[in-house]
Amino acid sequence: MRILVSGANGFLGQQVVKRLLERGYSVRALIRPSASEPAEWRGKVDIFRADLRVNADLVLAFDGIDAVIHAAAATSGSEDSQFASSVVATERFLDAMVRSSVKRLIHVSSLVVYDWARAKGTMDENTPLESDMYVMGPYAIAKIWQERVVSRYAAAHHWDLTIMRPGFIWGSQHAAIAGMGRKFGRIYLLFGPTTRLPLSHVVNCADCIVAALECPRAIGQSFNVVDGDDIRVWRYAREYANRTREGGLFLPVPYRLGLGIAKLASMTSRIFFGKKGKLPSLLAARRFESQFKPVRFSNQKVMETLKWNPPLDFASCLEATYSDRR
Amino acid sequence: MKKLKSAIVGCGAIAREHLTALAELNNVEVVALCDLSAARAEATSERFGIGKYYTSYQSLLDEVHPDLVHITTPPSSHFPIANACLSAGLNVICEKPITIEYTDFCVLRELAAKKQSMLIENQQLRFHSSVLHIRDLISNGELGEVLDVQILVAVHAPAGSPYVDLNAPHFSLSLRGGMIGDFLPHIAYLMHIFIGPVSELRTLWSKRVVDSPLPADEFRAIIMGERATGHVTFSANAQPGGFWLKVIGTRMQAEANLFELPRLTFRRFRSGEPALMSLVDGIVESKDGLKGAVASFWNKLGGVGSYDGMTEMMTRIYRAIEMKEPQPISLEEIDEVARLVDRFTKPEFKL
């Protein structure tokens, strides 16, 4: 089988390519024209260079392809640039897929598509999706719209779609995650230090995506991709500080206090500026919730349907993440 | 009250600034918008509560008959879209630069005159509160006669900036002067306001970062206007960023950062003991600076940013449509500005 991977040169994309090669697949990696090709791909991976933000004929990328893993997305930038890189790019990509014979699509989404305000107790695949997306940040808006676009194309063209929604993807060079709070100089502000984190180590996440590709029962399904929810903010931040040698003062802030301040700031902004008001994500109540809300995270569906277990436990994930820092 | 109808063609970042400004006008309703991306068009219509969206501007023009069409697409598409709108007898406000080539603007100008339609380039800094304040100081004589106008634009464009993206070339690369060309209309109309029609100018284009895709990253100009002289510095390397306008008069100097508002300071001529006047100057300038910085921060929280003049400009345009008055920026002024932009980039004016 030959698999096309978009965003193949990204943090997750590279790991997906690696896992596909380990599993014996033939891989075509879609990477940006100026991107450098990882050395370990030489002779093993077919490279297709294109930038999905630019009008170009992408249909050749799908030539001879059996399935697609769509991992291309922006993770930073303004709302407009993230929308262009994630949503408009996806439209162009899928417009080309329409003109091919490929029917199988795995889309990499995110837990940010859920309505965190309505998540009670445990967040799972039955948690309602965000319905008021424009109060959220640029990344959430782009990922919600990207999933909407993918779902519409798949429905219109009868594709076999699987949506994967990872939590905080972490790994080597990407260990700082939003859920662990914010670092100001040497001070770590931990919002809800005992909150459980929906961690998805990049190695485990890639393994899960490939498992979904291989499982016929995954077709038509959406899965939350988390390794578990045993690791709490305090522990994760401690490991980060110790292993990166970026020690500092840990300042725990109760979740409800942080949310209260954010709600007060949001209300003040609304009173003075209406909808035009702009607040940093820590002071926008809905965005604060989506980063720090203390709920549990279930991976029951992905484990049962795909018969999947994360190959790396937390200790192995730490080893894989920080081994290059010794 | 019957509302005026507007339509937006192009739903990128600048369209949001138009829509935000329009939301403040109670005599205007945005009835439709258009973008090549169906998702972006739908998202924008959802966000701003607009009933109709299209992916073809021709379909929009066929089905909707707005009082004003806002063209907020990249510059290369301005001419065909404006041409279609004017041909349909519609009024147009177009993002800057109104056309890439001056000759294309001339075609649109003739068409607008023939159809008796408005054709306006977005020149929102003309209505920036700091610019209006300085113009008031000139008209009431406080600033004295204008001697010189200095504009310093610093827009840092390091690797990773959209301006130098090697994978998705920025739209400004379609302009002569690249990213500098994108700012030249702002520079040109501000110069025109304060120094009048330009008789002489000399330019200096250079490139400090050799391997960047920008045709130039530094620009200087010295200008002789009818009423005063002007100096322009544009840098894609200088930090911090800002759009500084300094107007030097015979009685006062006024300086504003147009990327912030209302960051406006003054130095006045004061008769009296020089040492004491210097102290008074320092206190007044510090007070103005602090007041401006606090107001600027407050405005950023309020989402106003550097588009301060946009709402005022829209108010005047729609009022002119409603009252059947001449357009608030005349075609002759837009023509002067377009010609000045053209001259900035022409080789015969290079030093």
What DSSP assignment string belongs to B138-193?
Answer: HHTTSS-SEEEEEEEEE----TTSGGG-SSS--GGGGSTTTHHHHHHHHHHHHHHH
Q: Is B168 on the interface with A (CB under 8 A)?
A: yes
The residue that leads in pLDDT, B269 or A102, is A102
Q: What is the pLDDT of residues B207-250, one digit of tens each?
A: 999 988 999 999 999 999 999 999 999 999 999 999 999 999 99
Q: Are residues B118 and B144 in the same domain?
A: no
User: Is B204 a residue whose pLDDT tops 80?
Assistant: yes
The residue among B122, B152, B183 that closes a domain is B122
Q: Are residues B76 and B162 in the same domain?
A: no
Is A236 among the catalytic positions?
no
The structure tokens listed for B190 are 């501000």
Q: Are residues B116 and B219 in the same domain?
A: no
Distance from CA of A278 to the nearest CA of B (A): 5
Distance from CA of A294 to the nearest CA of B (A): 28
Model pLDDT, residue B215: 93
All structural domains of chain A, each given as residue ranges with its CATH number in brackets, are 2-168+201-226+297-312 (3.40.50.720)
Q: Are residues B139 and B234 in the same domain?
A: yes
Q: Which domain holds residue B20?
A: 4-122
Model pLDDT, residue B349: 85
Within-domain flag for B335: no
pLDDT-based confidence at B127, cuts 50/70/90? very high
Within-domain flag for B116: yes
Domain count of the fold of chain B: 2
Within-domain flag for B156: yes
Compare CB distances from B166 to A33, A53, A149 and report the shortest one's residue.
A33
Model pLDDT, residue A326: 58
B128 φ/ψ angles, rounded to the nearest 5 degrees? -60, 140
Q: What integer best gives the mean pLDDT of chain B?
A: 93
What are the chain B neighbours of A269 within 8 Å (beta carbons)? 301
pLDDT-based confidence at B288, cuts 50/70/90? confident
Tell me whether strands A104-108 and B119-121 are parallel, antiparallel or unpaired.
unpaired
Q: Is B300 on the interface with A (CB under 8 A)?
A: yes
Q: Are residues B289 and B178 in the same domain?
A: yes
Model pLDDT, residue B195: 97
Q: Dump the DSSP string for A268-324.
A: HHHHHHGGG----TTTSHHHHHHHH---EE--HHHHHHH----SS-HHHHHHHHHGG
Q: Are residues B90 and B159 in the same domain?
A: no
Model pLDDT, residue A119: 92
Model pLDDT, residue B306: 65
Within-domain flag for B318: no
The residue among B65, B87, B122 that closes a domain is B122
CATH number where B37 lies: 3.40.50.720
Model pLDDT, residue B262: 72
pLDDT-wise least confident of A59-63, A77-81, B80-84, B292-296: B292-296
Q: Are residues B241 and B296 in the same domain?
A: yes
User: Is B284 a residue whose pLDDT tops 90?
Assistant: no
CATH number where B159 lies: 3.30.360.10
Residue with tokens 């590709």: A213
What are the chain A neighbours of B16 within 8 Å (beta carbons)? 80
Q: Is A87 on the interface with B (CB under 8 A)?
A: yes
Q: Are residues B92 and B131 in the same domain?
A: no
Q: Are residues B144 and B286 in the same domain?
A: yes
Low-confidence ranges of chain A (pLDDT < 70): 325-326
Within-domain flag for B61: yes
Within-domain flag for B248: yes
Mean pLDDT to the nearest integer, B100-128: 96
Q: Are residues B139 and B287 in the same domain?
A: yes
pLDDT-based confidence at B303, cuts 50/70/90? confident
Distance of alpha carbon A145 from alpha carbon A84, whole angstroms: 11
A35 φ/ψ angles, rounded to the nearest 5 degrees? -70, 145
Q: Are residues B225 and B153 in the same domain?
A: yes
Q: Are residues B143 and B268 in the same domain?
A: yes
Between the CA of residue B203 and those of B99, B101, B340, what are the distances in Å?
21, 19, 12
Q: Which of A51, A130, A135 to mutate to test the interface with B (most CBs of B within 10 A)?
A: A51
Model pLDDT, residue B110: 97
Model pLDDT, residue B350: 85
- Report the length, in residues, of chain A: 326
Within-domain flag for B323: no
The residue among B94, B122, B150 that closes a domain is B122
Within-domain flag for B330: no
Q: Which of A53, A73, A56 is nearest to A8 (CA)?
A: A73
Q: What is the pLDDT of residues A173-192, one digit of tens each?
A: 999 999 999 999 999 999 99
Mean pLDDT to the nearest integer, B280-288: 87
Q: Is B302 close to A81, i.e. CB distance below 8 A?
A: no
Taking residue B201's Cβ as centre, other Cβ atoms within 10 Å add up to 18
